Structure 1
Amino acid sequence: MAEYVGSLESEVTSTRAERAGFHQQIADLEEVAEALRAQLEDTKRSFNTYSEHIEAEKVEDVDLESLDVAAAYRLARKEAPDNLVFLSEADDSVTAFSSYKSPRRLYEALTALSELVAAWKNDELGTGFGEYFAARGYEYSKNNPAATARRTKRHYQRSVDGEVVTMQPHLKVDQASSPDQCLRIYWWRDDATRRLVVGHVGRHLPD
């Protein structure tokens, strides 16, 4: 009997030692896993930094004079802050404005709008919209009677978050006599979230 008990005790001791070995292996593996996770995070950060650098280089290397209207619009839209929103109607209006002869001017106007929105969001604007645009050589209108007139108001209405809104503020980029060379940018201003929703980038809307 004593011999049997001693055998069991020996097996228990062996099992405990084996289990302790497993625990140590698990602990070692967890350390390795933690090191790999940290390495993965470092790799992700490096990749993101590299991607941002590459994207910045791409933008800096762009020859604005070589862009057509659609490409200038896409570039400006890509660079826009989150609180400058472009509706599908804006995309469509740019497509219809393909004969515009100054893609660079379109890009610069949208970039000015992006810079205003970013400053407005961060309480860094320091002036009104009109003064901001005037300093950059643009004419800005806060209100537009045609946007509320019965005959023309439908041209200024857009759906935003399921609600119909009216675009009154707009930037007068050109004063050309030909409609296809007279760029206008219309938007709806959302003061609650400090965003501008662009609904038209193209020829001036009916008045």
Structure 2
Amino acid sequence: MSIEAKAYKCATEQMPAFLELLQSPVRLLPIVFVSPYANGDPTKLDADAMAQRLAGVAIVVNLQDPQVTWDIADAIGRSMSCFDGAARIYWPGFSPDQDPRRHRLYFGAKIRDLGATIIERSIERSIFTVAAFRFVPDPRLNDIVREVEQKDRQQRLENKKESSGIEWEEISVSLDAELTSATERIKNLESEISNLKANQEVLFSARTPGEIEDDEPATEETAPPKSVEEACIRAKDFAHLSILDSAFDAAKKSPFKRPADILEALSSLEEIAALGPGVDVLQQLKDRGWGKRSSMHISATTKAQNGKHYQFKYNNKWEYFEPHITLGSGDANSCASIHFLVDSQLKKFIVGYVGEHLPNTKT
């Protein structure tokens, strides 16, 4: 791609190209992703000014349509996405199944509180610090140098053989070449390891003076869950959620690759249930970014053809768990659903299913 000293725009039609670039294994430059606020207001950050200062060392992408942020969240997971006025640094080697803390997120509220200038400097300092690390020689250049040196040694050997006829020197030179090559490789690996360790230290610890930390020390409770089952286990103690055995059974079988999204969805349900009876559940889900991914009903056709799949035993009765949140799309690795119902008497949401998307008229 051509590198320009201005922010790239990303609308719906550019989203596939952005996702391809984001996840490309050959991408060498970090991406600074800047999102609008959920209500459509533009970011407080000056994306074009950052792009000018970061020209050649980073790619700045400025998103203007908040709806596209949700589509990107569907593709890479909410925990790895960036929305509601936030900004994020996506380092090279990005993968949706990584720890989200590897790719620094600056929340929109934090940008408002601290001011755009401080956040811009923090982003730029992180990138420039990494870019300024010492150069690790390309292994191909090392190979060329070794080849030239080996040819030089071979020529000296031939000269010696012509003058003295001693054959053991050939063995000596061969062993010397192998030793030199191995020593050189060890040095290169030590240099690369040292460089990677230094990079890692900057990625996780570089902060702007006076900036409030977004990240907390990783603990078992704060680290992203490693499976859908673990996400359900963490949500088991939520005060306003009750997770049935049927949900745990489905969660154990689910291969969904973004369990952090499951935990976030369950957390959203907990927050909504805590508001009490009579709340507009669907509107609350929309306010939390689950709008087009949630519904309070399944279609009549789905109910007629596959209704039994949506029934789970609760209070010794088989109930339809129609309200649901859908996460992602595609196969079971990238798509899952959560089905629940509202128990007004207990003032709780009852989660009956968490796992692979249930069959409908499209499957």
TM-score scaled by length of structure 2: 0.36
| Higher percent of residues as helix | 1
C-alpha RMSD of matched pairs (Å): 2.7
2:247/2:353 contact within 8 Å kept: yes
1:90 to 239, 242, 247: 247
Quote the offset at 1:129 in angstroms.
Answer: 1.2
Q: Identify the residue that residue 176 of structure 2 maps to in structure 1.
A: none
2:256/2:356 contact within 8 Å kept: no
Q: Identify the residue that residue 37 of structure 1 maps to in structure 2.
A: none
Q: Identify the residue that residue 50 of structure 1 maps to in structure 2.
A: none
2:310 to 149, 152, 156: 156
| Residue aligned with 2:303, SS | coil
| Residue aligned with 2:286, SS | helix
Quote the offset at 1:147 in angstroms.
Answer: 8.2
1:26-65 paired onto structure 2 within 5 Å: 62-65=221-224
Gaps of 5+ in 1: 1-56
**1:101 and 2:257 equivalent?**
yes
Q: Identify the residue that residue 51 of structure 1 maps to in structure 2.
A: none
Change (3 A) 1:66 1:141: closer
The letter for the 2-side match of 1:109 is A
Q: Identify the residue that residue 141 of structure 2 maps to in structure 1.
A: none
Change (3 A) 1:60 1:204: same
Q: Identify the residue that residue 321 of structure 2 maps to in structure 1.
A: 167
Q: Identify the residue that residue 295 of structure 2 maps to in structure 1.
A: 141
The percentage of counterpart residues that share the same residue type is 25
- Quick one: distance in 1 between partners of 2:356 and 2:310? 13
Report the more deviating stretch, 163-172 or 65-74.
65-74
**Structure with bigger RCO (C-alpha 8 Å, 6+ apart):** 1
**1:71 and 2:230 equivalent?**
yes
The alignment covers a number of residue pairs equal to 143
1:27-56 CA deviation, whole Å, 9 max, x = no partner?
A: xxxxxxxxxxxxxxxxxxxxxxxxxxxxxx
**1:132 and 2:271 equivalent?**
no
Q: Identify the residue that residue 194 of structure 1 maps to in structure 2.
A: 347
Quote the offset at 1:149 in angstroms.
Answer: 2.8
The letter for the 2-side match of 1:171 is I
- Quick one: distance in 1 between partners of 2:340 and 2:333? 19
Q: Identify the residue that residue 87 of structure 2 maps to in structure 1.
A: none
Q: Identify the residue that residue 79 of structure 2 maps to in structure 1.
A: none
- Quick one: distance in 2 between partners of 1:77 and 1:95? 14
| Residue aligned with 1:189, SS | strand
- Quick one: distance in 1 between partners of 2:339 and 2:284? 16
The letter for the 2-side match of 1:158 is F
1:186/1:198 contact within 8 Å kept: yes
| Residue aligned with 2:224, SS | helix
- Quick one: distance in 2 between partners of 1:70 and 1:86? 11
The letter for the 1-side match of 2:267 is T
**1:178 and 2:331 equivalent?**
yes
TM-score scaled by length of structure 1: 0.60
- Quick one: distance in 1 between partners of 2:232 and 2:284? 21
Quote the offset at 1:150 in angstroms.
Answer: 3.3
